[in-house]
């Protein structure tokens, strides 16, 4: 069931979203060559704790997972596209890192992700990350009342395909509200003018996931969480929680 939020609920979600933005910024700030991924999770945990926010990631166990997720943040490095567990791995020069974090506060949830390079970047990685951000921006621009879900997917997918990237199969964005994952699903490709009609008060997490090698398929890590590219190529993930409003798209997960 798709829930339409009141303006008061949107304001509550904005507070949760601001905490997510702070947690991501704190995690990115500690990311450096030689730093273990656990330190990124700890930085995000501290932000949630200080804000009195809950984590929708910690102990999350969707249908595809064999074990509950053990952290408040996903850290996906290089060929891991999404859902990486932030473990003991120490970051190396040139690593491409995607971090994804959520928060719940006063009945509202927020969900956002960003990608960046640690140390000396490869030009191809910078272009991949930039294209993911551009696709997210295009999806946000399409998130207006009267448009259709297919317009968002079309906007996101067109940017990724034009660059020759793959678009991770089976995973995409989602509705969000009290829970992190709500209806409706938000595919990263779509037909313009088709699908669910967007209206004021609908809140969606938009999240392009692109693979540099061009394949849409993935392989799952032995831990049952991390999703890797089939060819070892690198990947990018960017996400914002966005409210559709009569005044235009309202991004709830900005600082």
Q: Which residues bind Mg ion (CB under 5 A)?
A: 100, 111, 113, 205, 239
CB nearer to Mg ion: give 10 or 205: 205
* Torsion, Cα of 91, 97, 100, 101 (10° steps): 40
Tell the smallest beta-carbon distance from residue 184 to Mg ion (Å): 13
Can you give 70-99 as a three-state secondary structure string?
CCCEEEEECCEEECCCCCCCECCCCCEEEE
Tell the smallest beta-carbon distance from residue 114 to Mg ion (Å): 10
Tell the smallest beta-carbon distance from residue 239 to Mg ion (Å): 5
Give Cα separations from 124 to 197, 210, 238 (angstroms).
36, 13, 17
CB nearer to Mg ion: give 129 or 205: 205
CB nearer to Mg ion: give 52 or 62: 62
CB nearer to Mg ion: give 41 or 100: 100
Tell the smallest beta-carbon distance from residue 113 to Mg ion (Å): 5
Token duo for residue 112: 């956002």
Tell the smallest beta-carbon distance from residue 215 to Mg ion (Å): 22
The DSSP-derived string for 181-200 is SEEEEE-SS--TT-SSBP-T
CB nearer to Mg ion: give 113 or 136: 113
CA distance from start to end of the chain: 30
Interacting residues of 214 by C-beta distance below 8 A, sequence separation 6+: 164, 165, 166, 233
Helix runs in 59-211, H state only:
123-141, 149-162
For residue 193, give the H/E element and its range. Answer: none
Reference 132, options 253, 226, 28, 240; nearest CA is: 240
CB nearer to Mg ion: give 28 or 239: 239
Tell the smallest beta-carbon distance from residue 100 to Mg ion (Å): 4
* Beta-bridge mates of residue 233: none
Q: What would you measure as the largest C-alpha separation in the chain, in angstroms?
A: 48
CB nearer to Mg ion: give 83 or 250: 83
Tell the smallest beta-carbon distance from residue 125 to Mg ion (Å): 20
């Amino acid at each position: 069931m798709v829930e339409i939020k009141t303006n008061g609920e949107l304001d509550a979600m904005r507070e949760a979203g601001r905490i997510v933005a702070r947690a991501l910024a704190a995690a990115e700030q500690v990311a450096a060559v030689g730093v273990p991924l656990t330190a990124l999770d700890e930085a995000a945990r501290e932000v949630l704790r200080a804000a009195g926010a809950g984590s929708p990631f910690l102990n999350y166990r969707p249908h595809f997972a064999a074990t509950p997720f053990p952290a408040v943040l996903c850290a996906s490095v290089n060929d891991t596209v999404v859902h990486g567990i932030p473990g003991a791995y120490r970051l190396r020069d040139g690593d491409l890192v995607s971090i994804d974090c959520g928060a719940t506060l006063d009945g509202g949830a927020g969900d956002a992700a960003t990608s960046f390079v640690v140390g000396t970047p490869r030009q191809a990685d910078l272009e991949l990350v930039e294209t993911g951000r551009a696709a997210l921006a295009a999806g946000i621009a399409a998130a207006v009342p009267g448009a259709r879900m297919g317009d968002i997917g079309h906007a996101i997918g067109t940017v990724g395909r034009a660059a020759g990237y793959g678009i991770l199969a089976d995973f995409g964005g989602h509705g969000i509200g009290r829970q992190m994952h709500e209806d409706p699903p938000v595919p990263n490709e779509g037909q313009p003018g088709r699908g669910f009609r967007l209206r004021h008060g609908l809140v969606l997490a938009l999240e392009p996931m692109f693979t540099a090698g061009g394949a849409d398929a993935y392989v799952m890590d032995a831990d049952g969480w991390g999703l890797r590219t089939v060819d070892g190529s690198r990947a990018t993930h960017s996400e914002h929680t966005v409210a559709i409003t009569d005044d235009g798209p309202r991004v709830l997960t900005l600082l």
